[in-house]
A and B are shown apart, each in its own frame.
Chain A
Amino acid sequence: MPVTVLIPTPLRKLTNEQDSVETSASTIAGLIQDLNQQFPGLGARLTDETGALRRFVNIYVNEEDIRFLKGTETPLADGDSVSIVPSIAGG
C-alpha cells in the first residue's frame, strides 16, 4: 500500500484537480521529488531556491507536524497519510 498525499486547493491546478495522489517515496524529501516528477512545477511551490521548505508550508505525517518529527528526513511507511497544509490564522 503506497503513501497517500492530500493535495491542498492551491496546488490542485498542478495535479489535474486531484485532491489525493499516491507516492512510494520513503521520506518527505523523496516525496517532494516524486511529486515534482509526477506534476512538474509542484516542487517549487513547496521549497525555495535552496531546497528548504517554504516557511508557510506545513506538512503532516499521520496528523503529526514533521517539525515535531525529523523534518524533511521524516521516514514514510506504506499506508501513511501525508497532508500539505498552508498556515491558518485565527484564535
Chain B
Amino acid sequence: MAKVLGLRCRECGQEYGVVPNHVCEMCFGPLEVRYDYEEIGHRISRTSIESGPPSIWRYKDLLPIDGEPTVGLNCGWTPLVRAERLGRELGLRNLYLKNDSVNHPTLSFKDRVVSVALTKAREFGYEVVACASTGNLANSVAAHAAEGGFTSYIFIPDNLELGKVLGTLVYGANVLAVSGNYDEVNRLCAEAVGKYNWAFVNINLRPYYGDGSKTFGYEIAEQLGWRAPDHIVVPCAGGSLMSKTYKGLNELAQLGIIPPVKTKMYAAQASGCSPITTAIKTKSDVIRPVKPNTIAKSIAIGNPADGYYAIDTVRKSGGWAEDVTDDEVIEGIKLLGRTEGIFTETAGGVTVAVARKLVEQGRLPADELVVLAITGNGLKTQEAVTDCLSQPMHIQPNLTSLKEAIGLQRQAALSV
C-alpha cells in the first residue's frame, strides 16, 4: 500500500494525484500531501524510528517519497542544545535550541526540505532543478543538485550577502541574480515555471518540499524523550516552517507516538518585514504585504505564501508573535554567541531577540520548556555583524606587548 494518497487543496479541498503541481486550479490555494495515516500507523513506532539512520530519513514513513531517499542522505538530526547560560540571561530555566545552523551540508534548515524535494524530483524524472531564494535555499539546492547530479538554476535577489552568493556558485550552479527583491524573484519564477520543464523546488514541488520541514518537529519531540515542548519560537519568512513543525508534532501525537500536543507556537520576524507578526498582533484576518527593509534578508519575504497558515497555527496553539529591530537582531546574534558558543545568522538573531521580548511580556514562563528554532549559520551573513563587534588586540610577538595589551583590556572592561 502506498502511504501517499495524493495532493489536496488546503483552501477548497479539491483533490489531485501525485503530480508536480503546487496550486489548485479552482481557487489558487496551495496543495498539500495527503497521507494514509492508517497505513503509516502499521509501519511506524518509536522503535522503528530509533533504529533508523541519524538523519531526517529515520522519519521516512512520514515523508512524501515512494522509494528510498536518493539525495541528502546525511541531512538533519541536528543537536537539540540545552541552553543554560542563554536561559539565565533570558530568565528561562528550561531552554533548548534546535540548532539547524549546523545542518548538513549547507548549514540551514533548508537542507531538510531540499533533501525531500530533490529525492522527489528524481522520482518524477527531472534532470534540472531550480528555486527562487533569499540565500539559504539557494545554497541547499545548489549543493544537493551537485550531490545528485542535477543541473541547477538558482534565482536570487541581486543584493544578497556575499557568503550566500559564493556558497551557491561553488557548487557549480547557474546563478541568476535578479534586479529586485525576493517577492519579485518569486513572481518571475512563477512565470518561468510554465515555460521550462524544471523542478522548481519551492514552486511545482512545493507540497513535497514543504513536508521536509515536518522533520524539525519530529526531531524536537524525539530528542526531548518523545514529548512536545511547552513553547516553540520560530522565525517566519514564507511561514511554512511554523505550520509544518506543528503538523509534525501533531502527526506524532495522532499516531500515538507522543502524548497530545499542547505546544504554543510563536512567530518571530524583523520589524522591517513583519507581515505575519503584524497580522497576529493587530488580530487582523488579512495579511498586508510589505516591501522588506531589514538586515534579516533570509526571512525578508513581504508576501508570505504560507502566512495565513502560520497565523492559524499561532492562534490555534495559543501562542503569539513579536518582531524586533535590526539593532535587536544584532544583539540577539551576539548574545547567542557569547552565552552558548553558537554563531547564528540574522534569522537566529531575530528568534533570540523575540524570545527575550516574549519573556518580558510574561508569555514564556520561567519554568516551562521552551525551544528556540535556530535555523541558519552566522558565517553566511558576516556583513550583518562586521561593524558591531570589538576589534582584535594588535600586539608585537613579545611578552611586554602582551602584558600591555591585557592591561589595557582589563582597564577597558573595568570602565564599562
The residues in B between 354 and 375 inclusive whose CB is less than 8 angstroms from any CB of A are: none
A4 to chain B, nearest CB (A): 13
Closest to A67 in B: B289
Contact partner, B28, options A12, A54, A68, A83, Cβ 8 Å: A54
The answer to whether A83 touches B187, judged by C-beta atoms less than 8 angstroms apart, is yes
Contacts of A83 in B (CB 8 A): 187, 191
The answer to whether B288 touches A90, judged by C-beta atoms less than 8 angstroms apart, is no
The answer to whether A88 touches B133, judged by C-beta atoms less than 8 angstroms apart, is no
Contacts of B25 in A (CB 8 A): 10-11, 13, 45
The answer to whether B289 touches A90, judged by C-beta atoms less than 8 angstroms apart, is no
Contact partner, B194, options A8, A45, A68, A91, Cβ 8 Å: A8
Contacts of B237 in A (CB 8 A): 90-91
Interface string of B282-293 (1 = CB under 8 A from A): 000010110100
Complex Cα–Cα for A69 and B305 (A)? 20
- Number of B interface residues, CB 8 Å? 46
Closest to B9 in A: A56
Contacts of A13 in B (CB 8 A): 25
Closest to B308 in A: A55
Contact partner, A65, options B190, B203, B286, B303, Cβ 8 Å: B303
Complex Cα–Cα for A6 and B194 (A)? 11
Could you say which interface size class chain A belongs to? 20 to 34
The answer to whether B189 touches A88, judged by C-beta atoms less than 8 angstroms apart, is yes
Contacts of A12 in B (CB 8 A): 194
Contacts of B240 in A (CB 8 A): 89, 91
Contacts of B183 in A (CB 8 A): 65
Q: A91 with B301: in contact, given A19-B194, A56-B29, A68-B291 (CB under 8 Å)?
A: yes
Interface residue B132 (Cβ < 8 Å from any Cβ of A): yes
Interface residue A85 (Cβ < 8 Å from any Cβ of B): yes
Interface residue B389 (Cβ < 8 Å from any Cβ of A): no
Contacts of B202 in A (CB 8 A): 88-91
Complex Cα–Cα for A60 and B190 (A)? 12
Complex Cα–Cα for A56 and B298 (A)? 22
Interface residue B277 (Cβ < 8 Å from any Cβ of A): no
The answer to whether B28 touches A91, judged by C-beta atoms less than 8 angstroms apart, is no
Interface residue A21 (Cβ < 8 Å from any Cβ of B): no
Interface string of A65-78 (1 = CB under 8 A from B): 10110000000000
Complex Cα–Cα for A57 and B26 (A)? 11
The answer to whether B238 touches A86, judged by C-beta atoms less than 8 angstroms apart, is no
The answer to whether A91 touches B133, judged by C-beta atoms less than 8 angstroms apart, is yes
Interface string of A1-41 (1 = CB under 8 A from B): 00000101111110000010000000000000000000000
Contact partner, A63, options B187, B286, B291, B298, Cβ 8 Å: B187
Q: Which residues of A contact B (CB under 8 A)?
A: 6, 8-13, 19, 45-46, 54-58, 60, 63, 65, 67-68, 83, 85-91
Given contacts A9-B193, A86-B22, A90-B203, 12 further A-B pairs with CB under 8 A are: A8-B194, A9-B194, A11-B25, A12-B194, A54-B11, A54-B27, A56-B27, A85-B191, A86-B190, A89-B238, A89-B305, A90-B301
